[in-house]
Chains A and B, each alone.
Chain A
């Protein structure tokens, strides 16, 4: 199980990193893209900045979605001893979140190429197509943060009870989860930004915790680690028969 913890810790730090890179690029090079509500302008921006847009998208969706999988599994493993159905439910939402984020990334990747190409031949059509795609991309990947919110809230709640991470980290998880779920109300969509910023801190703290624990238990097991295979019922029976 140790190496899941380690992979999970690395995943958490990568996830935090992708958020930092994503928000930084958003606030610097992509301000023109974010502020425009005119699809034609957005298409022009995409057509002119294709490589940077692709890089941005691959970082915040695909890299993030992949990093999320070991993190969700690792945190789920840590909470397994709590025998909490809530923790298991939360993990399912975490994995669905990963799938949806990756799906968003793949659609966005194809969308940039499609509207970029269409921009050269039929800019008006490109703007119409982008308006439709933007809805899909935004709906799946960010406008409402239900899936990520359910995962963080569920994990935060159980972690608080089990004292898994530091108290403030567990509280932060609960608050972020509630903030994310509030984005279901259209008026609260802007709260999503709070979720993004809070998650950077949460991911980092969880990642450091998982890696520190992994290192500690590795020190405790100075003796070469035996591959631990719990004896199955069949082997136990076989051993009994042999003796």
Chain B
């Protein structure tokens, strides 16, 4: 009986359907978020509105906002966990330290996404209530709330950027993930980290688009067993 398979390799490189679904759902959630941002929420998303106008717009579109936050934060947060787990498993035997560090940032990111989603929806309801009795206070509350949710969930893309960067570096030169995916990951991640510089957080959109491609591609990659170049 001759043995032709390499059990350890197939274990590490085995396709992961849950990871793939996570990646594809994460990409879809991102696409949904951006699509809504440039269509029904475009007036709001430009940031040109005053606080009073923003509150009025938000209260007119509460249902849409509710759905938007649900998808881009809560669904997205759930989706990245299996993706992070699968990517970690694919890399941990060959680059344990980078794979571990990357996974920690992914889980922190998921936690932040839950925190943002919950704060978003509860805060919106509180603003709506306050607006009925004291519109001035509602405006002030809106401004505080927008700062907190923006800080946690989007204004700075630091944590997501760290994860994608560490995964790409861990996979670099190992053949475990395609080189193109790693290049895309590094470029997107660096733009994510740049959002930290005040005044440059518009670069976040590059991170957004880059990560959509990265999530979708990583999802597809996880469905297949790669050819490892030796």
Contact = CB atoms under 8 A, between A and B. Distances in A.
B93 interface: yes
Given A1-B96, A54-B198, A109-B196, A235 B158 contact: no
Nearest to A99: B108
A107 B7 contact: no
Interface stretch (B36-44, B97-105, B182-190): B97-105
Interface string A39-75: 0000000000010001000100010001001100100
Contacts of A125: 51, 139-140, 143
B7 A232 contact: yes
B100 A112 contact: no
B156 interface: yes
Contacts of A136: 144, 148
A197 B97 CA distance: 30
B104 A69 contact: yes
Contact of B147 (A66, A107, A235, A238): A107
Contacts of B155: 106, 109-110
A218 B139 CA distance: 60
B141 A132 contact: yes
Max chain A CB contacts within 10 Å: which of B112, B146, B147? B147
Interface in A196-243: 227, 229, 231-232, 234-235, 237-238, 241-242
B173 to A, nearest CB: 14
Interface in A77-133: 95-96, 98-99, 102-103, 106-115, 118, 125, 128-129, 132-133
A47 to B, nearest CB: 13
A149 B108 CA distance: 19
Contact of B3 (A70, A102, A229, A238): A238
B152 interface: yes
A66 B162 contact: yes
B133 to A, nearest CB: 16
Contact of B151 (A7, A106, A132, A232): A106
A70 B101 contact: yes
B196 A62 contact: yes
Given A129-B144, A133-B144, A109 B104 contact: no
Contacts of B93: 229
Contacts of B101: 7, 69-70, 73
A58 B196 contact: yes
Given A69-B101, A113-B199, A238-B7, 8 more contacts: A62-B196, A73-B101, A99-B112, A102-B158, A109-B155, A109-B196, A227-B94, A232-B8
Interface of A: 1, 3-4, 7, 50, 54, 58, 62, 66, 69-70, 73, 95-96, 98-99, 102-103, 106-115, 118, 125, 128-129, 132-133, 136, 227, 229, 231-232, 234-235, 237-238, 241-242
Interface of B: 1, 3, 6-8, 11, 51, 93-94, 96-97, 100-101, 104-105, 107-108, 111-112, 115, 139-141, 143-144, 146-148, 150-152, 155-156, 158-159, 162, 196, 198-199
